[in-house]
Amino acid sequence: MTQLSVKTWDVVETDKLSKKLLDGLLKGEIGAVRIPNFLSNETCEQALKGIKNYGIDYYEGVYPKIGKIGITQFEHRFSKDKKKEYFKKAPKANRARESIFRDSGDLLRKVIDFVSEAWEFDVDIAVEEETGESYFAGLVRVMSRALIHIDWAGGLDGLNPEWTIGKIHAQLAWNIYLQPSSAGGSTVVYQRQWRKSDEIYYKLKDSYGYDPEVVKNVDFVRIAPKQGELVFFNPQHYHEVQTTEGDTERITVSSFIGLMPNGNLVFWS
């Protein structure tokens, strides 16, 4: 199933990663990489049981509402006190992930091992260089919609405090679809990266999202979720999750991956 040649800005479907594919994603040359049946249906159901037994929390001040298990660096990025709070919470959040996925196997570790097979440098959870503290990775999310936005830890805001992940040269995101919604819920990735002027012309007030005009007439790829599938894309490109339909919730596990200056790949949420 692995493809040897890759069209620019396409979706590649494969059963095995390669350095070429990862490089293409990191450089923004590939729209997405899909790994069908990364998890069996049985493993997904074991993971879902662990999630439902643990319970779902919700982001503060985010609309449409997004449920989650875990913590995010994004919510703690604005002050030194919030940064300390993140690293205080991270060990507990990592233990919770391991507990939730005890029966299915730690899904984060499965992805780290999968990426490691294709990458020549170290691949692991990010560590804050100054303190040696580990980041959290492996966020569970329940969402019916995500607005058009980008994700970039490499100094986009120019804000203090500094984070080790702020040194990254490129960023990826991965999702495992544990439970697709009844209908809808596709991820759309646009061939357009953030520009500074976008904050003036397109940023929605009091929101993480951007006006759809920012991606008007822009090429895109659409990924309709399938249970057990693992998907990688570059979140420096504008992307969204389209509205879900039906009674079945869309449940994923995910994290970011950053390319460090020394070539290592680091995971965090």
Q: Indicate the pLDDT class of residue 3, thresholds 50, 70 and 90.
A: very low
Residue 6 pLDDT > 70, yes or no?
A: no
**Residues 45, 56: Cα–Cα separation, whole Å:** 16
Of 133-137, 168-172, 205-209, give the lowest mean pLDDT range. Answer: 205-209
Q: CA dist 65 to 40, 120, 186, 258, Å?
A: 29, 39, 17, 27
Q: What percent of the chain has pLDDT over 90?
A: 84
| pLDDT given for residue 89 in this prediction | 98
Domain count, the chain: 1
Among 233, 208, 223, 222, residue whose Cα is nearest residue 33: 233
Residue 266 pLDDT > 50, yes or no?
A: yes
| pLDDT given for residue 5 in this prediction | 44
Q: From the CB of residue 7, how many other CB atoms can be counted at a distance below 10 Å? A: 11
Which structural domain, as residue segments, surrounds residue 252? 11-268
| Domain presence at residue 1 | no
Q: Give the 3-state DSSP-derived string for the chain, with helices as H, strands as E and coil as C.
A: CCCCCCCCCCEEECCCCCHHHHHHHHCCCCCEEEECCCCCHHHHHHHHHHHHHHCCEECCCCCCCEEEECCCCHHHCCCHHHHHHHHHHHHHHHHHHHHHCCCCCCHHHHHHHHHHCCCCCCEEECECCCCCCECCCCEEEEECCEEEECCCCCCCCCCCCCCHHHHCCEEEEEEEEEECCCEECCEEEEEEECCCCHHHHCECCCCCCECHHHHCCCCEEEECCCCCCEEEECCCEEEEECCEECCCCCEEEEEEEEECCCCCEEEEC
Q: Indicate the pLDDT class of residue 1, thresholds 50, 70 and 90.
A: very low
| Domain presence at residue 5 | no
| Domain presence at residue 4 | no
Q: What is the mean pLDDT of residues 207-211?
A: 93
* Segment 30-41, tens digit of pLDDT: 999 999 999 999
**Residues 57, 68: Cα–Cα separation, whole Å:** 5
Q: Indicate the pLDDT class of residue 137, thresholds 50, 70 and 90.
A: very high
| Domain presence at residue 244 | yes
Mean of pLDDT over the chain: 93
Q: Indicate the pLDDT class of residue 154, thresholds 50, 70 and 90.
A: confident
Bigger pLDDT: 229 or 162? 229
Q: Is the peptide bond before 161 cis (omega within 30 degrees of 0)?
A: yes
**Residues 63, 65: Cα–Cα separation, whole Å:** 5
| Domain presence at residue 145 | yes
Residue 156 pLDDT > 80, yes or no?
A: no
Q: Indicate the pLDDT class of residue 159, thresholds 50, 70 and 90.
A: low
Q: What is the mean pLDDT of residues 232-260?
A: 97
Q: What is the CATH number of the domain that holds 143?
A: 2.60.120.620
Residue where the block lists tokens 């396409």: 10
Which tokens sit at 190?
A: 């646009």
Of 49-63, 100-114, 155-169, give the lowest mean pLDDT range. Answer: 155-169
Among 83, 101, 66, 236, residue whose Cα is nearest residue 163: 83
| Domain presence at residue 2 | no
Q: Indicate the pLDDT class of residue 4, thresholds 50, 70 and 90.
A: very low
Q: Indicate the pLDDT class of residue 63, thresholds 50, 70 and 90.
A: confident
| Domain presence at residue 188 | yes
| Domain presence at residue 111 | yes
Q: What is the mean pLDDT of residues 79-84?
A: 93
